Every structure is written in C-alpha cells, then in structure tokens.
Amino acid sequence: MTSLVVNGRSVEVDDDPRTPLLYVLRDTLQLNGAKFGCGLGQCGACTVIVDGAPVFSCQTPIADIAGRHVTTVEGLGTRQRPGIMQQAFIDEQAAQCGYCIAGMIMRAQALIERTATPADDEIRAALEPNLCRCGTHSRILRAVRRAVRARQAAMAGGLSSPGLPG
Amino acid sequence: MPVSRRAVLSASGALIVSFAVGLPISARAQRRGRTADTALPGSLDSTPMLDSWLRIDARGITVFTGKAELGQGIQTALIQLAAEELAVEPRAITLVAADTARTPNEGYTAGSHSMQDSGTAIMNAAAQAREILVGLASARLQQDRTKLKAEQGAVAAPDGRRIAYAELVSDRTLHVRAEPGSPLGDPAHRRVMGRSWPRVDIPAKVLGEVAFIQDLRLPGMVHARVVRAPSYGARLLSVDSAPVADLPGVLSVVRDGSYLAVVAQR
C-alpha cells in the first residue's frame, strides 16, 4: 500500500509502487484532470503539482511521492467556484480541443504560487514544457496574465487562499 | 430500441415519445428521383423527421446532432442556431451530441461539414418547429397566426396572452417530415446568431470533469491495442498469439484478416 495525499484527501492505493502517478490518478482514483498524452514526459498533458512543484505524472512512480501532497486540476476549484486560474482560462476561452489545458493550468498555477507577478518571459519559460497542438498559445498567455491580475486583486482584497477554493 | 426508449420516455413524463432515426448519409446517394425542389436542407435530407432533431417537453428543449464536439465549438454554435430559430435563450437548450442510440447518424465529424450539414438541419428544423407551435397557438387562442409571435419559449398574442411551447406540444407534434422550405428568421433581427458566445464545452475541460472519450469509464470496460501494419497495403500472413495470450491481464487476441488487436484488462 502507498499513502498519497490527493487534493487534500489522504488515500491508500495498492497499485505496484512503480506505477506512474498518472495511472493511479486516472484509473484508481478516477480523476479526469491529468491526461495521458505521450507517456514520455514530453508533452505536459499529465502535469500535476506535487508539494508545490509541477511534475509529469506519467513519469513519476507513486513510490516517489508517498506521503507528499498532489494537486490535480480538480483540486483547484469546482463548477460553482472555479479557481482563479480556471476562471481565467474560461474568461479568455483559452482552449481549442482542451486536451492540454489541465496540464497548462497546473503548470501555470505552480508558477504563480512561486512567483506572484511573473514577467511575460517567465510565463513563457515556465510553460515551455507543455505543448498545445491546436495553437491556443496566445489565449493561454492571456489567461495566465489575467489570473496573475485576479490573484493580486484577491490578495489586496484580503482573501486568505487565492487560487484555492474554501 | 424504440420500445425501450418509448417506455423510458413515457415513464419520465416526456410528451414526445416517438423517435425517428434517419438513413445514414451514404443512403442519400441511393435515393432516386430527387430534385432541387424536393431536397431537404443539410442533414434533414437523410434524417427528415423533425423529432430526430428536436424534442420539446415539460423538461425543456433538447436538440440532437450526429456531430461531435472536437474543440471546434460546434456544441455552442448548434445551440445558437436552435436558440435563434426557436426564439429562446441559448441556456434553454440542452444539446445531445453524437450518441449512437439517440442522435441522427451524420457520419464523420470532419471536413468542415458540421455547420453545413448538421447546423443547416437544426436551423431549418427549429424554424419549422417554431411555425408548428405558432400554428397550434393560433388555433388555441383563436388568433390569426400572423398576429402571434414566438418569444422566450412561448407564443404570445397582442393581447398579452401567452402559451408556453411545452403546453402546445403533444407526443406527435414534431413527428412530422421536414418541408423543403423553412420560414427562417430575418437575419436583420438575429439575437443569438452572429454573436460570440462562450463555448459551452470549456468549463468541463478546465475543471477536470468528463469531457473526453478517455474519461468514459463503463462497467466491465476492457481495453484493446491495435497492432498496426508497418505500411499501407501490408497483409498479415501469420501471427503466433500464444505467448501474448498467456500474459497477465490479456483477455484475447483478435484477428480478422490483416486486422490484429490485443484485448486486455487495464
């Protein structure tokens, strides 16, 4: 058994410790956010946040993250209350097919949690590992900039946990 | 299928219990004697019954399309068309897309045909349904139909009387063939078409809800991997599937001519 903390919830899974986190998230825990794209850590569709850092969940065996905190896009918000990054992607209509978007959102979320006001080249550099084949890049950049502004406004307004629900 | 659908719908109180599944598009070519005068617009030509495309009942308005959302935004665009011609807000429409048990068979979603074929069908079907509703209201209200107006999901008379669409329809109301000509709304007075609407498929995609075929998990579902030939035209001469069939989790090796696939539990 491996103990994980996924979106704030402790779970015990009996998958082989070598199993990629992505498979456990999708198949065992039935979460849809992280996507299988290439399975090789080359596209970023599987990106989730582990202890504050973006990781390719397809390349991360669950043994490596026992006891650590995993956040998927489901952990950022709900339909009634989307997270700041999710709302920014909705507002900017920053998706064509949308398959890469959950990974984009997680990598961008990790960025703004580390760097409150990233410069444009920092946003571009941070998102570089994530591929979008539809060509939605301009909208994605606009969405991240919008989220940065929204987060600043929320912090100025005294919200305790911007970007996270509750 | 028709029997179980009927049972389900009558049990759930729907007013329209019949359903017409049209011929696939390939059957169009087999039809004879069709002229420009009798051809129906878009996919109505292969699926001509209005209730294949629209259902109006106490639960609201449901629109059916055989085309799939691939991120091109057709769910939103098709809802716009139906909302425009039925004189309702887009949020009043529920769209059912590419469900083999429920929607018309419109073949592939490819080649920029979704609006041309399905969109045209839905727009014309919605316009014809609206006129049927106005006609029913005309009889009910004893008012000349030219004095009546479809708006916000109801037919309204100049004296302020209104009858909601759901009160006008019965189970056979839309079980009629489409006509070649449709009373489409005046483009100069469009409220919904021609404007940008937020895509209805995006929230599910950014929230991690079920949005992709990969997100479907059915009871007892197993998975298959097709073993592709190394080149076009290659033929499978022989395969020794025994070593694979004994691997853990493998359920079967399927061969049909040169087609080869391995079925396994996840």
Domains of chain A: 2-74 (3.10.20.30), 84-156 (1.10.150.120)
Structural domain range at position B194: 2-207
Question: Residue B105: inside a domain, yes or no?
Answer: yes
Nearest CA in chain B to A32: B208
Task: Choose among B146, B147, B171: nearest CA to B160.
Answer: B147
Q: What is the pLDDT of residue A160?
A: 54
In this structure, the answer to whether residues B251 and B165 fall within a common structural domain is no
Domain boundary among B161, B180, B207: B207
Overall number of domains in chain B: 2
Choose between B170 and B77: higher pLDDT: B77
Strands laid side by side in the B93-97 sheet: B54-57, B60-65, B93-97
Q: Cβ separation of A102 and B199 shorter than 8 Å? A: no
Question: Residue B212: inside a domain, yes or no?
Answer: no
Question: Residue B56: inside a domain, yes or no?
Answer: yes
Mean pLDDT value of segment A109-114: 97
Q: What is the pLDDT of residue B250?
A: 97
- Out of B206, B211, B217, name the one closest to residue A86 (CB): B206
Give 3-state DSSP helix, strand, coil % of chain B, rounded to 5: 35, 15, 50
In this structure, the answer to whether residues B190 and B67 fall within a common structural domain is yes
Q: What is the pLDDT of residue B3?
A: 47
Mean pLDDT value of segment B4-29: 44
ipTM of the complex: 0.93
- Out of A30, A36, A77, name the one closest to residue B207 (CB): A77
In this structure, the answer to whether residues B10 and B103 fall within a common structural domain is yes
In this structure, the answer to whether residues B129 and B239 fall within a common structural domain is no
Q: What is the pLDDT of residue B8?
A: 44
Nearest CA in chain B to A71: B208
- Rounded to the nearest angstrom, the minimum Cα separation between B159 and chain A is 41
Reduced to 3 states (helix: H, G, I; strand: E, B; else coil), residue B86 is helix
Going by pLDDT thresholds of 50, 70 and 90, the confidence category of residue A161 is low
Going by pLDDT thresholds of 50, 70 and 90, the confidence category of residue B38 is confident
CB A89 within 8 A of CB A135: no
Cα–Cα distance for residue pair A23/B50, rounded to 1 Å: 44
- Rounded to the nearest angstrom, the minimum Cα separation between B45 and chain A is 30
